[in-house]
Amino acid sequence: MSPYDLIIHSGTIITSGGVFPGTIAVRDGRIAGILAANERPEAAQQIDASGLHILPGLIDTHVHLRDPGRPEREDFTTGTSAAAAGGVTTILEMPISEPPVNSGANLSQRAALVQQRALVDFGLYGAAGAENIDQIAAQAEAGAVAFKTFLHAPPPGRAHEFFGLCCTDDGVLPQIMMAVKATGLRHCFHCENDAMLEAGIARMHAAGRIDGLAHAETRPPVVEDVAVAQILALATAIGGPVQIVHLSAPLSAQLIHEARARGLDVTAETCPQYLFLDISALETHGPYAKCNPALRTPEDVMSIWVALHNGTIDVIGSDHSPYVAAEKERGWANIFDTPAGVPGLETTLPLLLTAVYQGRLDLPTLVRLTSERAGQIFRLPGKGRIAAGYDADLTLVDLQDTWIFDHTHCLTKARECMKLWDGRSMHGRVVTTLVRGTTIFHNGAIVAQPGYGRFVRPGPIADSR
């Protein structure tokens, strides 16, 4: 019998600590050892990674799949296929659905449903809102990886998808935060001040503004800054780990940096759209560039890159938000009639690899932002590193492959909503994605069956800062 199930040889390994040649040996779905580059032990299977770089599989910390309830937008199989095509081996899925994940029973039911259809591993956020404080502990017991709270009201017509996810009452918010603190899990916040949003929308309507830029003008950076300041103040008083999701505003980044220096356990996530797009995309691509928070000025984008490089930003999540194209098309006539969100599972890694090629990012930092820190922050056992004892979640990429993005080649159901990236030159392509030592995606095709993905629960409490 071979001592290993798989060896991957002749490739270049990337970790947060460096880039080096080596051989990866896999047994029972886990990395059994990192061997010298010239070692070729016996194995049942071998992968020749000549010319390729090997990253820890991406952990996407911010994914919306819409299933159950809206499978026409995305379902668990198409969504996790898109993840694998993008080099993502674990997704952390947000609680917006029909019904939403707002109770222990709903979380367990959703986990069972995803298990049948997923191609990659997955964790589930629980919902922490004004209506379901009494269900927060039960969601943690059912395996929630973290909790999510929106600080604005549900979008019009979507209250049923957001029940238990929102809090606009400053008097109730501390109670929610204390309930989440008691679970020991990280509490993640969509930070936009509701009253300021509503006032901004009213101003645009009064002015007859329904164009793409009007969306950004309803939610300028200060709308985010005020909400971030509130969460940091409450977290300082209450305690418990918190995270600011899809960070896009420079002052918010500064506030987080200062709070962390004071010892607050706060982490920050940003998304590719806030690194690679700016407000001009709303003029060019209209509803397809509508996202919340809104796209920012080029100067703001540069500030987010600074926050990425100075360590303020811990993780990059896609905020994959799939919709049917017809839903987006409504926004050409009135930007406020279309939902906000950009699909991103298949573009995150190519965009970041292109940034590496351009000298804007280095490979070890990319690994830290897309894998290692996410595994630490969300306490994901065996996830996020290429090291002995960790799951053999691996992404093999060709850094020399230059190609032009074409949305028609994507695996997500929301491929028509990815037109805003069409024609963009990418440098670096995902060749193979392995989850726990099994090849899921190879050379443009899914090569595994739905149901292989596994529900990931958080491990023991540790310092995740």
- AA identity, residue 230: Q
> What's the confidence (pLDDT) of residue 401?
97
- Which residues on adjacent β-strands are paired with residue 27? 30
Please compute the mean of the pLDDT values over residues 340-357 and round it to a whole number: 98
| Integer Cα distance of 89 and 436 in angstroms | 9
> What's the confidence (pLDDT) of residue 66?
86
| Integer Cα distance of 110 and 119 in angstroms | 15
Please compute the mean of the pLDDT values over residues 254-270 and round it to a whole number: 98
Query: What does the block give as tokens for 203?
Result: 């101003």
pLDDT in tens, 52-105: 999 999 999 999 998 888 899 999 999 999 999 999 999 999 999 888 899 999
Please tell me which residue, 422 or 461, carries the higher pLDDT value: 422
Does this model's pTM top 0.95? My answer is yes
Query: What does the block give as tokens for 108?
Result: 């367990």
Residue 36 banded pLDDT, cuts 50, 70, 90: very high
- Comparing C-alpha atoms, which of 259, 198, 248 is closest to residue 221? 248
- Does residue 462 register a pLDDT over 70? no
Q: At what angle do helices 221-238 and 194-206 cross, to 10 degrees?
A: 170
| Integer Cα distance of 117 and 229 in angstroms | 40
CA 71 to chain CA centroid, Å, is 20
User: Which fold would CATH assign to domain 4-54+388-446?
Assistant: Urease, subunit C; domain 1 (2.30.40)
> What's the confidence (pLDDT) of residue 463?
55
pLDDT in tens, 14-29: 999 999 999 999 999 9
| Integer Cα distance of 84 and 411 in angstroms | 10
Mean pLDDT of the chain: 96
Tell me the domain boundaries of the chain.
Answer: 4-54+388-446, 57-377
Q: Does domain 57-377 have CATH number 3.20.20.140?
A: yes
Share of the chain above pLDDT 70, in %: 99
- Does residue 464 register a pLDDT over 70? no
| Integer Cα distance of 82 and 152 in angstroms | 29
Q: How many residues does the chain have?
A: 465
Please compute the mean of the pLDDT values over residues 343-372 and round it to a whole number: 98
Share of the chain above pLDDT 90, in %: 94
pLDDT in tens, 172-221: 999 999 999 999 999 999 999 999 999 999 999 999 999 999 999 999 99
Query: What does the block give as tokens for 4?
Result: 């290993």
CA 283 to chain CA centroid, Å, is 26
The full 3-state SS of the chain, as one line of letters, equals CCCEEEEEEEEEEEECCEEEEEEEEEECCEEEEEECCCCCCCEEEEEECCCCEEEECEEEEEECCCCCCCCCCCCHHHHHHHHHHCCEEEEEECCCCCCCCCCHHHHHHHHHHHHHHCCCEEEEEEECCCCCHHHHHHHHHCCCCEEEEECCCCCCCCCCCCCCCECCCCCCHHHHHHHHHHHCCCEEEECCCHHHHHHHHHHHHHCCCCCHHHHHHHCCHHHHHHHHHHHHHHHHHHCCCEEECCCCCHHHHHHHHHHHHCCCCEEEEECCHHHHCCCHHHHHHHHHHCCCCCCCCHHHHHHHHHHHHCCCCCEECCCECCCCHHHHHHHHCCHHHCCCCECCCCCHHHHHHHHHHCCCCCHHHHHHHHHHHHHHHCCCCCCCCCCCCCECCEEEEEEEEEEECCHHHCCCCCHHHHHHHCCCEEEEEEEEEEECCEEEEECCEECCCCCCCCECCCCCCCCCC
Residue 1 banded pLDDT, cuts 50, 70, 90: low
- AA identity, residue 285: H
pLDDT in tens, 216-249: 999 999 999 999 999 999 999 999 999 999 999 9
Among the listed ranges 1-5, 352-356, 369-373, which one has the minimum average pLDDT value? 1-5
Cα separation of the two ends of the chain: 42
pLDDT in tens, 117-149: 999 999 999 999 999 999 999 999 999 999 999
- Does residue 465 register a pLDDT over 60? no
